[in-house]
Amino acid sequence: MMKDINEVLRKKEVDLQQLQREVEALRVAVRILSEDAETGSALPRPATAGAAYSAPARSAPVPASVTDAGYAIPWDAAAKKFP
């Protein structure tokens, strides 16, 4: 089955416009960051930059009666799970 050439062209134009917006946003970010570097007003780096990251401790399982009510769910249990 062949695609309509006008549909393909329109999709490519939309993709191009999105990329142009992203490039412009990156240019603005570079300008802001370079101004911060020149003035020395960049945020200080954390003192633990060389330390290894440790994951937060998991909370104990919550009883089903509490989770069914829709409240008192720990943040890690309520978070979206991505594959």
Segment holding 45, helix H or strand E: none
Considering only residues 47 and 8, tell me which one the structure prediction assigns the higher pLDDT. Answer: 8
| Domain definitions of the chain by residue range | 1-41
* Contact status, residue 69 vs residue 76, Cβ threshold 8 Å: no
Question: Residue 21 has what pLDDT?
Answer: 97
Considering only residues 8 and 56, tell me which one the structure prediction assigns the higher pLDDT. Answer: 8
CA distance 21 to 29: 12
54, two tokens:
């440790």
Q: How confident is the model at residue 81 (pLDDT cuts 50, 70, 90)?
A: low
Cβ atoms < 10 Å from Cβ of 67? 15
Alpha helices in the chain (DSSP H): 5-39, 64-69, 75-78
Q: For the chain, what percent of residues have pLDDT higher than 90?
A: 37
Q: What is the pTM of this model?
A: 0.43
pLDDT greater than 50 at residue 6: yes
